[in-house]
């Protein structure tokens, strides 16, 4: 990230900030895969979205709700992970 400026910033803040950023980006890519997967189904396999794997609602609704719930769950994971990084001091590497 800010490799050039790191020498002038306190080491603690830089590494926890970088760690939080890494965690965030990792979770971001996970979500991108889920979101893109949904778009691919909508665009190319809409027939699959009509399936009702849980006997009740179809995949279109289940996946959609899943994306909404998933965003919230990932956000909680992120908050917890960042807090443990900040409480536990700078991580290794």
Partner 1 sequence: MLYESSSTAIAIFAAFVLGVVGLSFFLGRKGQSAKGYYAAHGEIHWFVNGIAFAGDYLSAASFLGICGMIAFHGYDGFLYSIGFLAGWIVALFVIAEPIKALGKFTFADALDSRFNSRGIKLAVAISTLVVSIFYLIPQMVGAGDLIVPLLGLPHTVGVILVGVAVTLIVVTAGMVSTTWVQFIKGSLLVFFCGILAAMILNRGLVVGTGPAANLTPQVRTVTPDGTVLVDGKRQSKDHDLRPVGTIKALPARYAGQTATGPLRPLEYLSALEDSTIVTWSSKKHTDAEGTHTTYSPVERRGADLLKPGGYFKGLSTGKLADRLDFASLMLALFCGTASLPHILIRYYTVKDAAAARQSTVVGIAAIGAFYVLTLYLGLGAMTSGALDPTSTNMAAPLLAKSFSTTLFAIISAIAFTTVLGTVSGLIMAGSGAVAHDLVENVFRIPMTDHEKVRCGKIAAVGLGIIAMVLGVLFRNFNVSFLVGWAFNIAASANLPALVMLLFWPRTTKQGIVAAVTVGMLSSLAWILLSADTFEKVYGWSREASVVPFSQPGLVTIPLGFLVLVVVSLLTPKPGEAVRRHG
Binding site for partner 1 (CB under 8 A): 1-4, 17, 20-21, 24-25, 27-28, 31, 35, 38-39, 42-43, 46, 49-50, 52, 54-58, 60-61, 64-65, 67-69, 71-72, 74-76, 78-79, 82-83, 86
In the complex, minimum distance from the CB of residue 52 to partner 1, in angstroms, rounded to a whole number = 7
Classify burial at 18, counting beta carbons within 10 Å of its beta carbon; exposed 0-12, middle 13-18, buried 19 or more. middle
Which of 20/90 has CB closer to partner 1?
A: 20
In the complex, minimum distance from the CB of residue 88 to partner 1, in angstroms, rounded to a whole number = 14
Sign of CA dihedral 49, 53, 58, 61: negative
Which of 11/69 has CB closer to partner 1?
A: 69
Contact 59, 38 (CB under 8 A): no
**Using CA atoms, how far apart are residues 54 and 30, in angstroms rounded to an integer?**
24
């Amino acid at each position: 990230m800010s490799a050039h400026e790191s020498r002038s910033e306190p080491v603690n803040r830089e590494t926890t900030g970088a760690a939080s950023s890494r965690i965030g980006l990792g979770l971001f890519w996970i979500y991108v895969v889920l979101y893109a997967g949904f778009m691919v189904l909508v665009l190319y396999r809409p027939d699959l979205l009509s399936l009702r794997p849980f006997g009740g609602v179809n995949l279109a609704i289940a996946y959609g709700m899943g994306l909404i719930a998933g965003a919230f769950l990932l956000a909680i994971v992120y908050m917890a992970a960042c807090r443990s990084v900040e409480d536990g001091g700078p991580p290794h590497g």
